[in-house]
Structure 1
Amino acid sequence: MAGRNGRTVRDLRRGNRTEVLRRLYFDGPMSRFELGPATGLSSGSISNVVAELVADGLVEEAGSVDSDGGRPRTLLRVAPGSGHMIGVDVGETRVRVELFDLALTELARADRPLEHERYDVEVVVGHIRDGIAEVLATAGTAPEGLLGVGIGVPGIVAGTPDRGAVVHGQTIGWDGVPLESLLRATCRLPDSVPYFIDNGARTLGQAEMWFGAGRGAHSAVVVLIGSGIGACLVTEEAGNGRAVEWGHLTVRVRGRRCRCGALGCLEAYAGAEALLDRWREQGGRPPGDADEETALTALLTAARPPEGTEADPVALGVLEETAEYLGAGLSDLINLFQPERILIGGWAGLQLGSRFLPAVRRHAASYALRHPAERVSIGLGRLGPDAVTVGAAILPLADFFARGGRRAEPTGEGPSPAWRAALRQRTPR
């Protein structure tokens, strides 16, 4: 039965369960008495919802606290072992797979390096498949207990009715790769386990907004700087966040060629790969056969060496120019979206920001409009280089909470029910 606003009793129950789960998850442990004013639900509704969640094994007791003259109040929390999620980061140098419990405690991890075959679709899919099998075996977790597998990837992710999530990663040579259907055909997981595939910058933004430097902000832009560059816009209108291809903003007409093929993109000047290329072109000497992370560390050390050692002027010049490009790019985000906070993350962003953040802030303020620039704070993410993996795991967790703590329906493509087939036959074509 639907009410005046179109919501059914089932919708109301699911919404109440969602509200209690989220409140306990972010602010718990809490007592039933505290849950009432925190959620806006009546004491009777709280009792019913908590009883359901306890019966489902999602909520458990977590000690007690003294009350004012009455009996001690029992504290409640979300049961960490009541569900598991897998987060996957398809990064520049490796595929990382992590298994988490409901409290986002890491239970197992598997790293698969990407070397000469970087971004070969079959290799990446194989790494994800093997990594999932490894973390489940290491932790002794049954795949049936998974709430889902979240995957952060470079590029634009589009949902399709027949192939699931399809990845358009122009910079990595992925042109409409049906990643979800490839994983379903390859990974040995039950049909009941859903996949959540999204842009890596958005999964980073999800993590920082839930648990990191973005918590409590009404609007933020979370920037991911690695080999390339991306960003996630989080506002009330954008809901849980929207990936924006910030790295392919044009910062110089007829400038350097970007990995995407265009000229003058921000990524062609400020991404780690392009930054190292510019250092080499100007005479810099990164360590031989070093990966990007090691080479960037060498560049930063050359530009800002230990006290008593002379800085490499070429390295310093490249980094100072990069700080200006990043500041100019951030000014566009400030002018376009007027966010409350801008957070810089990603393995390269954290390395660069730890030494050049003041210069980046200064350049952002000089290029941006004064009014929004005075109201934004620019800082570093707090969750470290693993934030993309954590954010990917949050995708199935957020879906689970939105369903009121009920698992997703199986997605297997079995025969349609008779009533649906009959309805299709009667529908005019």
Structure 2
Amino acid sequence: MHATSGRTVRDLRRENRTSVLRKLYFDGPMSRLMLGPAIGLSSGSISNVVAELVAEGLVEEAGSVDSAGGRPQTLLRISPGSGCMIGVDVGETRVRVELFDLTLTELARTERALPSTGPRTARYDVELVVAHVRDGIAEVVRAAGVDPDRLLGVGVGVPGIVAHAPEDGAVVHGQTIGWDAVPFERLLRRTVELPDTVPYWIDNGAKTLGLAEMRFGAGRGARSAVTVLFGSGVGACVVTDPLGPGRALEWGHLTVNVRGRRCRCGARGCLEAYAGAEALLARWREAGGTPPEDVDEETALTALLAAAAPADPDAEPDAAALAVLEETAEYLGAGFADLVNLFQPERILVGGWAGLQLGAGFLDRVTRYVTEYALRYPASRTTVGLGTLGPEAVTVGAALLPLDDFFARGGRRPETAPRAPAPAWHAALADRVTP
């Protein structure tokens, strides 16, 4: 049976279930009476949808509130135990794996360090990263005592550009880490011991950071924002729809200085060659600073900040560290100005371990340069600030990828579609095609 718009009744029922689930998830608990006007459904439709969701264990009662002159209204909420998701952050110093229930309460977590020294390509050895993800998933599932069949999916945030191929699923093009068309989803499916029915959702880490901050962090309530993942390198995600997934930007490879410093991508003059933490530490060393040897970048950046602002009030700040930080603030300010001019966002939000470590005081300096380089009108309507979800934001956003898909399906798991027979001409021409 089809509705007049061309959508089937089944489509409409799924969309109604999706609307109720999303409203309860992001704005609940709510009563049936509140839900109707909030999502534009009749009381009868609300009653039918809620009855289905309660019967399936996806929605449960959560107390009651007084009504104006009538009997108390029963509140509804998403049932936390009705499913769980795994979020993975393939970061710059470690692989973090977290298991969440349906309300994003953390059930278990683990971290596995990546090599802190040596070439970046060795640090991101594909077999090592896959093994870390495999072992991390097995550990959190075992620690929480969760039946793998309850998993709605595994979301993974990775560095680089993610494309999709029919045979391999998600394929990662991570030029700065030596990943050239790595069939990451296929490798995980072959290695991780989970049921074949558990879907994988793999996307850029800046994009999963943006998803988390828009839904639950500093971007909540904004109609548009750009989130910046500032770590060893820099990346960004632009969001123009608060409920949409956003779009990852290779912002760190915007050219800011023609024939400038060599970037780790191989090109010259990229923003990342001046503003990423790796470049910042290299420039400090070149300016006469003394970064600690044989430590990870987080520890080295802590040393740079301590040199620029010594805890001892009688100690002299390191002039080279101060100069490098000021120059970095200007490069970032110019890069933020480009984001302002291009996308005119309400907010620019900075996350990632380096961004959080540099802190709000450093962003104040960046903002001053934004006003110098950006057009006045859009700059006056954009605020710059830190993300509020901390270093776990990427894993939270990664876990939202399977959750979003689950809600889009109306709270139903993917169905295995029957394989249709191939057209007759396939068989007729098969012998004529040379391999």
Q: Which TM-score tier does this pair reach, normalised by the shorter chain?
A: over 0.9
One-letter amino acid matched to 1:420: P
Aligned to 2:333: 327
In the aligned structure 2, how far is the partner of 1:69 from the partner of 1:274? 65
Aligned to 2:215: 210
Contact 1:151 1:392 in 2 (8 A): yes
In the aligned structure 2, how far is the partner of 1:368 from the partner of 1:226? 24
Aligned to 2:203: 198
| Mapping for residues 346-361 of structure 1, pairs under 5 Å | 346-361=352-367
In the aligned structure 1, how far is the partner of 2:75 from the partner of 2:428? 54
Match of 2:376 among 364, 370, 374: 370
In the aligned structure 2, how far is the partner of 1:346 from the partner of 1:156? 18
In the aligned structure 1, how far is the partner of 2:245 from the partner of 2:218? 15
Task: Give 1:337 shift.
Answer: 1.0
Structure 1: which 5+ residue stretches go unaligned?
Answer: none
Aligned to 2:289: 284
Aligned to 2:408: 402
Match of 1:336 among 335, 339, 342: 342
Contact 1:344 1:353 in 2 (8 A): no
Contact 2:222 2:242 in 1 (8 A): no
Structure 2: which 5+ residue stretches go unaligned?
Answer: 431-435
Aligned to 1:391: 397
One-letter amino acid matched to 1:361: T
In the aligned structure 1, how far is the partner of 2:424 from the partner of 2:49? 37
The range that moved more, 60-69 or 120-129, is: 60-69
In the aligned structure 1, how far is the partner of 2:241 from the partner of 2:139? 38
In the aligned structure 1, how far is the partner of 2:385 from the partner of 2:75? 36
One-letter amino acid matched to 1:44: G
| Mapping for residues 253-272 of structure 1, pairs under 5 Å | 253-272=258-277
Aligned to 1:421: 422
In the aligned structure 2, how far is the partner of 1:199 from the partner of 1:20? 29
Aligned to 1:249: 254
1:165 and 2:166 aligned:
no
Task: Give 1:422 shift.
Answer: 4.8
How many percent identity over aligned positions?
73
| Mapping for residues 66-145 of structure 1, pairs under 5 Å | 66-115=66-115, 116=118, 117-145=122-150
In the aligned structure 1, how far is the partner of 2:242 from the partner of 2:53? 31
Deviations 1:164-212 (A, max 9, x none): 0000000000000000000011011111100000000000000001001
Contact 1:222 1:345 in 2 (8 A): yes
Aligned to 1:47: 47
Instruction: Please state whether the residue corresponding to 1:54 is helix, strand or coil.
Output: helix
In the aligned structure 1, how far is the partner of 2:6 from the partner of 2:426? 29
Task: Give 1:247 shift.
Answer: 0.2
In the aligned structure 1, how far is the partner of 2:201 from the partner of 2:27? 26
Task: Give 1:283 shift.
Answer: 1.6
Deviations 1:137-163 (A, max 9, x none): 000001111000000000000011111
* 1:277–1:355 CA distance, 2 compared to 1 (3 A): same
Match of 1:227 among 217, 225, 232: 232
Deviations 1:93-128 (A, max 9, x none): 110000000110111111111005411000000000
Count how many residue pairs are aligned between Structure 1 and Structure 2: 424
Aligned to 1:155: 160
Contact 1:193 1:410 in 2 (8 A): no
In the aligned structure 1, how far is the partner of 2:35 from the partner of 2:269? 53
Aligned to 2:433: none
* 1:428–1:221 CA distance, 2 compared to 1 (3 A): farther
In the aligned structure 1, how far is the partner of 2:77 from the partner of 2:414? 22
Task: Give 1:71 shift.
Answer: 2.0
One-letter amino acid matched to 2:270: C
Aligned to 2:64: 64
Instruction: Please state whether the residue corresponding to 2:303 is helix, strand or coil.
Output: helix
Deviations 1:12-38 (A, max 9, x none): 001100110011111111111111111
Deviations 1:393-421 (A, max 9, x none): 1100111111111112349xxxx63x433
Aligned to 1:25: 25
Task: Give 1:375 shift.
Answer: 1.1
TM-score normalised per structure 1? 0.96
In the aligned structure 2, how far is the partner of 1:329 from the partner of 1:261? 19
Aligned to 1:317: 323
Task: Give 1:355 shift.
Answer: 2.7
Contact 2:99 2:109 in 1 (8 A): yes
One-letter amino acid matched to 2:72: P
How much is the aligned-residue C-alpha RMSD, in angstroms?
1.8
Task: Give 1:426 shift.
Answer: 9.0
Task: Give 1:65 shift.
Answer: 1.4
* 1:424–1:304 CA distance, 2 compared to 1 (3 A): farther
* 1:380–1:63 CA distance, 2 compared to 1 (3 A): same
* 1:17–1:278 CA distance, 2 compared to 1 (3 A): same
In the aligned structure 1, how far is the partner of 2:234 from the partner of 2:416? 35
Instruction: Please state whether the residue corresponding to 1:217 is helix, strand or coil.
Output: coil
In the aligned structure 1, how far is the partner of 2:395 from the partner of 2:242? 25
Match of 2:351 among 340, 345, 348: 345
The range that moved more, 346-355 or 376-385, is: 346-355
One-letter amino acid matched to 2:92: E
Contact 1:86 1:150 in 2 (8 A): yes
TM-score normalised per structure 2? 0.94
* 1:168–1:46 CA distance, 2 compared to 1 (3 A): same
Contact 1:191 1:410 in 2 (8 A): no
In the aligned structure 1, how far is the partner of 2:428 from the partner of 2:80? 47
Task: Give 1:238 shift.
Answer: 10
Instruction: Please state whether the residue corresponding to 2:5 is helix, strand or coil.
Output: coil
In the aligned structure 1, how far is the partner of 2:34 from the partner of 2:329? 48
* 1:423–1:333 CA distance, 2 compared to 1 (3 A): farther
